[in-house]
Structure 1
Amino acid sequence: MILAHDVDGDGPAVLLLHSGVCDRRMWQPLLPALTRAHRVVRPDLRGFGDSPLPGEVYADADDLAALLDSLGVAEAAVVGSSYGGRVAMELATRHPGRVSSLVLLCPAYRGVDPDEELQAFGAEEDRLLEAGDVEGAVQLNVRTFLGPDADEATADRVAQMQRRSFAVQLAADALEPGPQPERVEVDPSRLAAPTLVVSGALDLAHFGEVATVLATQVPGAEHVELPWAGHLPSLERPDEVAAMLLEALERQSEVRTS
């Protein structure tokens, strides 16, 4: 299937991959800056936004390769937030020729085990969903993952996106057979694209550890820690993150052509 998506602007392609508490709408505040010189592709991964979650075997990386094929995009710079960061690395692993560079914003990564804090969050989310308190689970995610610089309107938008994702994913739980995501193992030491890893000083400790590990293991990776950021910096200070992304994309392009 072709993922739901939007395409804006013209120029070198940039693929934006949303976090697990959001969908492609999370990137809207960055579009005015990014589309001045780039063709920006924003998909909803399966189970988020307008992309359904059918009962079949799939891999997010393959879905993205198929989307790029449908758009005639040979390769793209890939920016991934949280879960989207993990998927970005899976795409670079499974289809390395499609990824010209990587920017990983507070990425998820299976190679670092969750700590007690993250396990406690997961257990509480499961408890709320099993009790039928979807709204409680929505608000738990908003409180946990948005940093202090996010305003009330941003919190409301994140809640709307998370609410939608729960609706799609809970509906898929009733399918027989259910969705069967294929696990794509990532070896950071084999990622060949120029990579910037971004972490937030106010994020959960687990994601700070992930950023440190990836910055150490990905060849030539840069690491920037934002002192003001929680887990979703592109929503907390979109103008600053847009400027950082544009600078990183230009620098990575120069590295590739030097």
Structure 2
Amino acid sequence: MTLAHDVAGSGPTVVLLHSTACDRRMWDPQLPILADAGFRVVRSDMRGYGDSPVPDGPYNNAQDVVELLDLLGAEEFALVGSSGGGRVALEIAARWPYRVTGLALLCTALAGHEPSAELRAFGEREDALLEAGDVSEATDLNVDTLLGPHADQATREKVREMQRRAFDVQLAAVEEFPQLRPEFDRADITAATLLISGDHDLPDFRQIALRLSRELADARHLELDWAGHLPSLERPEAVNPLLLDFLRGTHAGSGRDLRS
């Protein structure tokens, strides 16, 4: 299955991987900015999100993304991942390190992370609401938990729409198939990495960023004192320059002329 996706612009390829509270529409504030700056921007919906149907068998998100990029002829690419999309980006960068030129991770999740009491309580509350059939309340829980104080009402409604769409699509599935978890070693990641965390986020995501900043060979960590879990939506005017500066740096010496 080919993931639902959009492609905009031309130049070095940048892949945008969405949070599992959202879908590819979360990157609406970044897509035109990156394309206008001289990048070919690819964004896709993971299975069961946005316009991609739920899995029809065992699957692997990282493999799905790489197969899409193969179809698009992208031999090398930078990855920008938010939350669960960051976890997918880390897997791609470890399994196919020779293809990844840069890795920007916004409030990334991490395979094997032991959740804090706060994160466990959030997950248990979400599960209880969904089991009770209260999808609206579960959606509101995600919006209220994940967005920081700078998110305006339009942003809150956009996240609510994307999260509700994901719940509706996934809850309607007749059968649930497992995601395959191939082994990989994060020590194999060679790409320069930008780690972003938010002071208004759950504590786990700052802890993950700090851990990765120590583990990865070429990583720096930037804390945003205003941000919640979805800074690229909360204040795109602050995040977009950070992404542009980083992505231009990953292609320094590539021979490509990126627009200033």
Range class of TM-score, shorter chain: over 0.9
- For residue 256 of structure 1, report the CA deviation from its aligned partner: 7.7
User: Post-superposition shift, 1:122?
Assistant: 0.3
Q: Any residues of structure 2 matched to 1:131-146 within 5 Å, and which?
A: 131-146=132-147
Mapping 1:127-206, distance limit 5 Å: 127-172=128-173, 174-175=174-175, 178-206=176-204
- Matched residue type, 2:179: P
The one-letter code of the counterpart of 1:35 is A
**In structure 2, distance between residues paired with 1:252 and 1:57:** 34
Q: Which amino acid aligns with 1:7?
A: V
> Residues 41-190 of structure 1 correspond to what in structure 2 (within 5 A)?
41-172=42-173, 174-175=174-175, 178-190=176-188
Task: Work out the CA distance in 1 between the residues paired with 2:43 and 2:14.
Answer: 9
* Residues in 2 aligned to 1:149 and 1:186: alpha-carbon distance in whole angstroms: 37
Deviates more, 1:130-139 or 1:98-107: 98-107
Give me the TM-score of the superposition, normalised by structure 1: 0.95
* Greater than 6 Å deviation, 4+ residue runs: none
Query: Mean alpha-carbon deviation: is it higher for 122-131 or for 46-55?
Result: 46-55
Cα contact 2:102–2:250 (8 A) shared by 1: yes
Match of 1:254, as an amino acid?
A
What is the TM-score when the length of structure 2 is the normalising length? 0.94
Of 222, 237, 240, 1:239 maps to 237
Q: Is the 8 A contact 2:21 2:142 kept in 1?
A: yes
- Matched residue, 2:40: 39
Counterpart AA for 1:33: I
Partners of 1:203 and 1:230 within 8 A in 2: yes
For residues 115-173 of structure 1, what are the alpha-carbon distances to aligned partners after superposition, in whole Å with 9 as ceiling and x for unaligned? Answer: 1000000000000000000000000000000111000010000000001101111122x
Paired-residue identity, %? 54
Distance of 2:67 and 2:237 partners within structure 1 = 31
CA shift at 1:186, angstroms? Answer: 4.7
Gaps of 5+ in 1: none
1:29 corresponds to 2:29: yes
Matches of 2:203 and 2:77, distance apart in 1: 30
Partner amino acid for 1:157?
A: K
CA distance in 2 between partners of 1:105 and 1:2 (Å): 25
Match of 1:219 in 2: 217
Q: What is the distance in 1 between the residues matched to 2:113 and 2:74?
A: 32
Which residue of structure 2 lines up, in the alignment, with residue 2 of structure 1? 2
Following the alignment from structure 2 to structure 1, what is the Cα–Cα distance between the partners of residues 96 and 198?
28
Is 2:148–2:227's contact at 8 Å kept on the other side of the alignment? yes
Question: Once superposed, what is the RMSD of the aligned Cα atoms?
Answer: 1.4
The structural deviation recorded for 1:184 is 3.7
CA distance in 2, matches of 1:210, 1:3: 28
- Give the CA deviation at 1:225: 0.6
Letter aligned with residue 164 of structure 2 = R
